[in-house]
Amino acid sequence: MYGATTKVFATSHPLWTHQTTAGVIWRHDAAKVRPIMETDRVCQFFGPISGIRANFSYQSLAGRAYNRSMDRDVMTRLRAWKTSAQRKPLLLEGARQVGKTWLMRAFGCAEYDNVAYIDFEANPSLCTIFDGDIDVSRILSQLQVATATPIVPGRTLIILDEIQACPRALTALKYVGEQAPGHHIAGAGSLLGVALHQDSSFPVGKVNFLDIGPLSFTEFLRALGEAGLADALDPNGPPDWVFLAPFHDRLITLLRDYCFVGGMPEAVSSYASTRDYGTARAIHEAILRAYDRDFSKHAPIGEVPRLRAVWASIPGQLARERRFAYGELGPGARARTHLAAIEWLTQAGVVHHVTRVSVPRLPLREYVDESAFKLYLVDVGLLGALAGLGAPAVIEGDRLFTEFRGSLTEQYAATALVAATGRTPHYWTNDGGTAEVDFVVQRERDIVPVEVRSSLNLKSKSLGVYDGKYAPDRLVRSSLAPYAAHGRLVDLPLYGLGSIGTV
């Protein structure tokens, strides 16, 4: 199966670089290099047109690299997509560098015999496959030749990466789903949300969507080798609070690390291997530079200065503890001048657009006040980098949680709630603006107010105002304090926000 010639396949993730030498497959695992073991699953990839063979190892659940680096909860949803009787072509959405490419390749390697992979940004000429009439049989045949990979229904995963660079490929997904439903095809793109918003010919209702975000806190724990704590915090069921009680201080320390490192896969991988905050921060800064290049390369040229102004203002806007203020962007800034920039950032997946609701009733979207909102970054680590927060804040006790008037803690809570519920939360204020609840979360049958505290101070006047007005079945106060239940009010540790669906 493997020749004597050295052939290299490198993913964007340092734990997953593999090569073959004289018939032996090696895996690079942080500081160690070892031969592939029997527990590893090896997939073949072929470079488009070149025919260069490469190998990608996806280690079993018992393996060290899988548990340490990228044990993503979304794998369960991908397996459900594979076996669904209503399966359609899949589109993975998410900001740049949240791990979409790695995830698709790892999923394909674990669940399929073959993976046919194309990156349209790296190989733009392959877009011509989709020119002219959309003949599904011809397209599949050309993809098979281009990737040098047998494309077999149900046994091959076809991956079209950076698909936003090839609009005709997006359109073709509808026809693949209708005319060749036995084929499994997935696409992904860093600016896919922007492309879909601009493409009026996109086949609405003909594809399945899956949002990919940064690693959650429990995924971060597994990456650091803390699988026991991650399992006890299982977001799919009520956490075992009795079991977790002796580990509260340890979890707060790990949460402090997470609020600095964040959940971007490359930063997590680096920190898991080195425990070096500086290296993680350098990775954040590189990601921020990549985002800035995206602004200038992909946004309408007239919007670029406004995009940058909105983006740079976010740390200060959050520290104000008020709704987003256009006046902070400069003289003359108004909704009509900057709203398009905010919409672009939201569609690109780099910010969460959290709107105010006037009344907490189901469904919340019917009570949204679009004029009042807050913007949070896609990742808590990136917010710290954008604000210039250095490593000393991690070392100095709970200072990290109180920086920017607690906005870093609020940022963490926003991303934790998005990861836990799959939707962006809202916030609530009364009509007079004298009371504000940080987040209101829609569950299947009810709405839960969540007040976030950056310290052990549990006083919450606004939550009391909310309770007096609406008397919900459940109120949540999330802070550095341990878990405690007081009737309808639950003190939920910040590290337990992933369980918001079960409290």
Q: Inter-axis angle of helices 167-179 and 136-147, to 10 degrees?
A: 110
Q: Which residue has the tokens 């930063």?
A: 267
The model's confidence at residue 199, banded by pLDDT at 50, 70 and 90, is low
Count CB-CB contacts under 10 A for residue 181.
12
Residue 1 has pLDDT above 50, yes or no: no
Q: If 0-12 CB within 10 Å is exposed, 13-18 middle and 19+ buried, where does residue 76 land?
A: exposed
* Range with lowest mean pLDDT among 113-122, 144-153, 193-202, 481-490: 193-202
271: enclosing H helix or E strand: helix 265-274
79: enclosing H helix or E strand: helix 75-83
Report pLDDT for 71: 76
d(CA 418, CA 498): 9
Report pLDDT for 4: 31
d(CA 148, CA 127): 17
Report pLDDT for 235: 67
Q: Which CATH class is domain 7-211?
A: alpha beta
Residue 11 has pLDDT above 80, yes or no: no
Give the model confidence (pLDDT) of 146-188 as tens digits.
999 999 999 999 999 999 999 999 999 999 999 999 999 999 9
Give the model confidence (pLDDT) of 63-75 as tens digits.
333 333 467 999 9
Report pLDDT for 393: 73
All structural domains of the chain with their residue ranges: 7-211, 217-499
Residue 108 has pLDDT above 80, yes or no: yes
Q: What is this structure's pTM?
A: 0.86
Give the model confidence (pLDDT) of 398-444 as tens digits.
777 776 668 899 999 999 999 999 999 999 999 888 999 999 999 98
